[in-house]
Structure 1
Amino acid sequence: MISPGPLSFERAISAGLIACASAIVYLVVKGYRARLVFHRLRQQGMPMPPWNPILGHLLAVPPVMKVLPEDAQQPDAFEALCKAHEKKDADSIIYLDMWPFADPMMVICSPVLAVQACQEYDLPKPPILHAFFNPLAGGDNLFTMNGPEWKRSRALFNSGFSAGYVLQQTSHIVDEAEVYVETLREYARKKEMFSLDDVTCWYLMDVIGTVTLDSRLHSQRQFNPLASALRRQIRWHVLDNEWNLLIRWNPVRPFVQWYNNYQMNSYIAAELDKRYAEWTSDETAASSRSIIHLALAGYMAQQAQQKDQPRPKQLDRAFRDWATVQIRLFIFAGHDSTSSTICYCFYLLQSHPEALAKLRAEHDAVFGLDIAQTASKMRSQPHLLNNLPYTTAVIKESLRLFPPASAMRGGLPGVYLQDDKGNRYPTEGTNMWILHSAVQRNPHYWPDELAFRPERWLVKDTQDPLYPIKGGWRPFEHGPRNCLGQTLAMLDVKITLALTVREFDVRHAFEEWDRLHPTSKVKHVNGDRAYQTQSGGAHPADGYPCRVSLRH
């Protein structure tokens, strides 16, 4: 073996120095451009906290963080900044310079401006979203796509989420819900404290697995490689609000994420191959409108156009990779946000016994007094789930107070947002973060903005002060990029409440949890101990410790 000579060593050192110098120059140039954007915005009088030419708005963050829990979701901090620094003669919006942690940002807490960004202009999804979604979905997906590719993919999956077809899935959802109910019975008998969020996540994983893959995962009761890998990937996912550098730069993370990706991709690829083999041998197998079948239908349609070529015996690898990413996205989004919503429904109903009594009375009227017959009635008469106006109001009010996610859009040259006072806000060079929690609790637009009042959603008179403002409720977003699975999510929550609220008393155990985990740190947001933390989407703090008891 020939050892490297002095010249080779010097070349390696030189290459390393050049790489470091290039990185420094890149950071300096990009940082200068970011600061220049805000220098110009400041000259135009745009709303923002006190700005420093070197540190931007980084100094504005620590005072806010002192009054919030360490693990509170980022939107809570930015909502507090918006309230503290918005102009009195302007709508709820501020610009934030968080370089090098983020590109120039507009924080939007106004429904008027949110409607313009997402509906009137339908601004594109920015590249920054890839950093969040790629570890979970594995690549460019329906949520991050723009342009013709997004339109084609959206059109392909639309029919799988039509109201009529989703209602036909009631029986499948009830199957998984009955396993969830039995799990709650076991905890009631054992009289143990447990994490409601964790148990509910596994439950919704099984629900979305059925709808997406047309097969049962059984992850509530046994190990499933796909479900376990995805839940593990979420736990290892580092978000922007992680300040601990030992966690943020953990050298083990890339290897764990690679293994999780391998597990998920292998499982889904095998399902795709299995369904394709069934389809090619028996075309009657194509009657389902599950996500996996809709993806295959699009592939088969493309193959049919190539009339002079025989049907391939195996799936094209490029298609399999694309379909795997979309399926991973649906499984992540379909279980993560809905599980959180169910937990917050229980939390708010516990805190408002009069609302819980009305909910139970509505279920008695629709499903009958024998709660043992509820599941069978939903299977045989799924249309009964459309006769639950108060239940729907409870769910919508829970989503208003605790939305599981926010929206992000990218600005464009020449596009300005304008508030009702005539102020115009340039979007070029910024990412717009529409904070759903802040929009839906904005006191300028919502009477008793922090109060749980399901009656808001039963008001018919548009002049009533409680009547929700247009575009003010947006947990599923609005416009062309609204959530494809919102009908399924609402059905999931209705079925869950119908099978649980009359059989169980579900009570949070935060006081007990805090005695076992004493701390002097802040543990409330807006007076709520079940404040939202970031774990994939927004979830209740500390996994929502709770106890369940059987009602007599």
Structure 2
Amino acid sequence: MIANILLLALPLALAYFFSALWHRRFKQFADFPQLPPSLLWGHLKALHEFTLKALPGLHHDHLLAEMAKELGHPPLMLVDLRPVTYPMVVVTSHEVAEQISRVSKLFPWSTPKSPTMGALVSLIGPQSILVKHNEDWKQLRKRFNPGFSPQHLMTLLPCILDKTAIFLERLDHYARSGQEFRLLKLTIELTFDIIGAITMNVDFDAQHSESSGQGEFIRLYDQLLQNYGDKDRRLPWWMYPGREWRRYRLGKQIDQRLDAMIRQKHAEQLPQQQSGKTARSRDILSLSLQDSQELTKGLLSETRDQIKTFLFAGHDTTGILLAWLFYELSRSPRVLQAVRDELDDLFGPDPDPAVVRQKLLDPSGGEELIHRMTYTTAVIKEVLRLYPPAGTARMAAPGTGFTVRTPDGRSYCLDGAILYNCATIIQRDRAVFGDNAADFVPERWLGDKSGIMSAGANNDDSNNTTTQGEAANRKYPPGAWRPFERGPRNCIGQDLATIEARVIVAAVARRFHFVKVGLGELDLDEKGRPVLDDKGQYKTKSEVYNIAQVTAKPCDGMRMKVRRRP
């Protein structure tokens, strides 16, 4: 009897399953621009086919760009990743991206972050400012904003310069030896040292010449990052339980060490708090604890997760930026000379880092010098435009009714899908940046007043709105440049990243000359001289490109040689 019932029910169940699948696959998002989906695999099959035609390991942003190109560059497109994960709406228009990142009646602090951020929990913690929402997020932003204000960061210039001096010594070593090295490793170790000192006044010794000489914390952190490689990064945790266990175990070991550092910092500050004195230490952790008489369990875990977040984002973005920046300078002689000329004008003709340090630390003009590095700032903006480390992923829950309007006047309800503001595509939009959108042209930013150390950048209520007067000083729509994202949930550390970059370029650019090795190396003529192309850059034998290792990083670690300038 039961067997007969099951036999009768099975066809009905299968019919219901395929009917529901058909609706989800072909009807739910039918009005969205998209490639033809597979009934069972959605766009996973199409994505795989694009992967097979691409360079090995090419970052998914560039695969999505090829998909958008095939569709005629729509302002958004659907990429259905079910059954592996949620369907994804890839946003390729700055106008649509602005609607997602800004405040709205539905979302007073902009569209909530995507639940897929949970994959980073071992790196950033479950209470990270990156994943918190609404009032919880606002209070965290308010608590930590003072430590990231440009005015406060300028007081930390000695720390940045101290760590940069070690970086210069390492480059001197490679210049003397003629050895090849991976520039990304050096820049990331430099920026990790800087963020450790700025956030906690701790010396992680990340720039030690031998890995064995680095501290235990650095070794644990490196092991954790190795478990976030490109392979299988988009697959659910249950498909790779061993990988998830390793992440969890390493994350907990890092938590224990950070907890000890936070407890020590609080204990050091407590006597000063009780006596009514201002804490001497000005690192970000000290500032965040200065009004906390008691370090409760909740405060400890919340603080630790923010420190984890700052350590990750604070070293990664700037390290990647510097690697790409020195690569672009190495193959762009006109740009390199313009940077050096500007530095000569500001710091004098002597490129000695000691001279740069002295002038930057001069209380009467050091901050002004950084603000006057207009061409160097344009170079930084252009590198971040071409090579943004990451975009942002948001999600409006099903039934929310979150709708955006595209430039052609059409409306789309985005409920239930990952909303991916793809900075790589948005920032290379030919409709905005012209026919040279894919070219390295820092001059495009000269005279543009938006994006770096602009007023309100780190205000937790900031919506990055633009007045009519401000718009007159901008060459491009403000939303078309978004490497730190926009709206109230923009990157809290964007000013730190760009201040660091300017200081490091000031110390390095006139002292060293970088030469690419392997991918991206220069194509020489019969006399061994580099050959200029019609865009004023040296021709290269091949292309360096980004792969995904949590964020977008150069595929070969930016293999380089370096020599001292005469």
TM-score range, shorter chain: 0.7 to 0.9
Alignment partners' CA distance in 2, 1:128 and 1:29: 29
361-370 vs 274-283, which moves further: 274-283
Change (3 A) 1:152 1:460: closer
Matched residue type, 1:428? D
State the alpha-carbon separation in 1 of the partners of residues 476 and 286 from structure 2.
38
Query: How far apart in 2 are the matches of 1:58 and 1:274?
Result: 49
TM-score, structure 2 normalization: 0.82
Equivalent residues of 1:96, 1:106 under 8 A apart:
yes
1 CA distance for matches of 2:544 and 2:154? Answer: 31
The number of residue pairs the alignment matches comes to 495
Q: Aligned to 1:543, what secondary structure does the other structure show?
A: coil
The amino acid across from 2:288 in the alignment is: A
For residues 466 and 330 of structure 1, the distance between their equivalents in structure 2, rounded to whole angstroms, comes to 30
User: 3-state SS of the aligned residue for 1:548?
Assistant: strand
Partner of 1:544: 558
When residues 214 and 460 of structure 1 are mapped into structure 2, their CA distance, relative to the original with a 3 A threshold, is closer
Among 70, 77, 82, the residue aligned to 2:68: 82
Q: Structure 1 173/409 Cα, relative in aligned 2: closer, same or farther at 3 Å?
A: same
Superimposed CA distance per residue, residues 205-256 of structure 1 (whole angstroms, 9 cap, x where no aligned partner): 00000111022222211312222222221111255755999x97373x3454
1:327 to 289, 307, 327: 307
**1:201 alignment partner, one of 188, 201, 205:** 188
Cα distance change, pair 527–248 in 1 and its aligned pair in 2 (3 A): farther
| CA deviation profile, 1:511-545 (whole Å, cap 9, x unmatched) | 5999xxxxxxxxxxx99722111123211111111
Give the direction of change, closer, same or farther, for the CA distance of 1:266–1:450 in structure 2 (3 Å limit): same
The answer to whether the 8 A contact 1:138-1:325 is kept is yes
Determine if the alignment matches structure 1 residue 387 to structure 2 residue 375.
no
Distance, in Å, in 2 between the alignment partners of 1:71 and 1:465 is 40
Partner of 1:220: 207
Q: Contact 1:31–1:100 at 8 Å: present in 2 too?
A: no
Q: Deviations over 1:2-36 (max 9, x none)?
A: xxxxxxxxxxxxxxxxxxxxxxxxxx999986763
Summarize deviations over 1:235-282 as a string: whole Å, max 9, x none: 11255755999x97373x345434422332222112111111111222
Q: Which moved more, 1:413-422 or 1:477-486?
A: 413-422
Residue matched to 2:288:
295
Deviation at 1:342, TM superposition (A): 0.3
Q: Aligned in 2, Cα 1:33/1:146: closer, same or farther, shift over 3 Å?
A: farther
Report the alpha carbon displacement of residue 166 of structure 1 after superposing the two structures with TM: 1.0
**Alpha carbon RMSD of aligned pairs, Å?**
2.9
Q: Measured at CA, do residues 256 and 67 of structure 1 come closer, stay the same or move farther in structure 2, by a change above 3 Å? A: same
Q: Which residue of 2 aligns with 1:46?
A: 32
Checking the alignment, whether the CA contact within 8 Å between 2:520 and 2:542 is kept in structure 1 is: no
1:126 is aligned to: 114
Segments of structure 1 that go 5 or more residues without pairing to the other structure are 1-27, 301-311, 515-525
Q: Is the 8 A contact 2:68 2:77 kept in 1?
A: yes
Match 1:409 to one of 388, 391, 394:
394
Q: Which residue of 2 aligns with 1:272?
A: 262
**Which residue in the other structure is 1:261 paired with?**
251
1:67 is matched with which residue: 32, 53, 72? 53
Matches within 5 A, 1:12-161: 36-43=23-30, 45-86=31-72, 91-121=74-104, 122-131=110-119, 133-161=120-148
Check conservation: 1:47, 1:93, Cα contact below 8 A: yes
> For residue 491 of structure 2, what is the aligned residue in structure 1?
483
Aligned to 1:309: none
The equivalent of 1:6 in structure 2 is none
8 Å Cα contact 1:192-1:547 kept in structure 2: yes
- Deviating runs (4+, > 4 A) in structure 1? 28-35, 238-245, 460-466, 511-514
Deviation digits for residues 454-487 of structure 1, max 9, x if unmatched?
Answer: 1111146999999222300000111100000000
1:187 corresponds to which residue? 174
Q: Report the counterpart of residue 384 of structure 2 in structure 1.
A: 399
Q: Aligned in 2, Cα 1:533/1:259: closer, same or farther, shift over 3 Å? A: same
- Contact map agreement 1:106 1:433 (CA 8 A) in 2: yes
Residue 208 of structure 1 aligns to a residue in which SS? helix
Counterparts of 2:131 and 2:426, CA distance in 1: 22
C-alpha distance in 1, partners of 2:251/2:234? 25
Equivalent residues of 1:107, 1:434 under 8 A apart: yes
Paired amino acid for 1:468: Y
Greater mean alpha carbon deviation, residues 166-175 or residues 218-227: 218-227
* Distance in 2 separating the partners of 1:155 and 1:357: 42
Mapping 1:232-243, distance limit 5 Å: 232-239=223-230, 242=233
User: Is 2:515–2:521's contact at 8 Å kept on the other side of the alignment?
Assistant: no
> In the TM superposition, what whole-angstrom CA distance separates every residue of 1:346-378 from its partner, at most 9, and x where no partner exists?
111112110100000000010111122112221
| Cα distance in 2 between the residues matched to 1:151 and 1:75 | 30
In structure 2, relative to structure 1, the CA distance for the partners of 1:460 and 1:471 (3 Å cut) is closer
Q: Deviations over 1:313-337 (max 9, x none)?
A: xx32222122111101100000011
1:70, CA displacement in angstroms? 2.7
Taking the aligned partners of 1:465 and 1:70, their CA distance within structure 2 comes to 41
Structure-1 separation of matches of 2:313 and 2:289: 21
1:29–1:332 Cα change, 3 Å: farther
CA distance in 2 between partners of 1:341 and 1:78 (Å): 22
Aligned to 2:143, the other structure's residue is in SS state: helix
Query: Which amino acid letter does the alignment assign opposite residue 366 of structure 2?
Result: P
Contact kept in structure 1, 2:516 and 2:558, CA below 8 Å: yes
- Residue number in structure 2 paired with 1:164: 151
CA distance 1:199–1:29, shift in 2 (3 Å): farther
* Aligned mates of 1:31, 1:104 — CA distance in 2: 18
Residue 32 and residue 543 in structure 1: after superposition, are their counterparts in 2 closer, same or farther (change >3 A)?
farther
Counterpart of 2:480, as a letter, is: G
Equivalent residue for 2:531? Answer: none
State how far apart, in whole Å, the 1-side matches of 2:381 and 2:21 are. Answer: 39
SS of equivalent residue, structure 1 residue 282: helix
Kindly indicate which of the two structures has a greater share of residues assigned to helix: 1
Whether 1:508 and 2:516 are equivalent positions in the alignment is: yes
Taking structure 1 as the reference length, the TM-score comes to 0.84
CA–CA distance in structure 1, aligned partners of residues 328 and 378 of structure 2: 12
Share of identical aligned residues, percent?
Answer: 26
Contact preservation (8 Å) 1:194, 1:545: yes
Change in 2 beyond 3 A, CA 1:170/1:528? farther
Check if 1:450 corresponds to 2:438: yes
The aligned residue for residue 454 of structure 2 is none
Report SS of the residue matched to 2:77.
strand
Alignment-derived partner of residue 378 in structure 1 = 360
Instruction: Please say which of residues 277-286 and 449-458 is displaced more in the overlay.
Output: 277-286
Residue type at the aligned position of 2:487: G
Identify which range, 105-114 or 261-270, moves more after superposition. 261-270
Per-residue deviation, 1:289:
4.3
**CA contact under 8 A between 2:521 and 2:542: conserved in structure 1?**
no
Letter of the structure 1 residue corresponding to residue 483 of structure 2: P
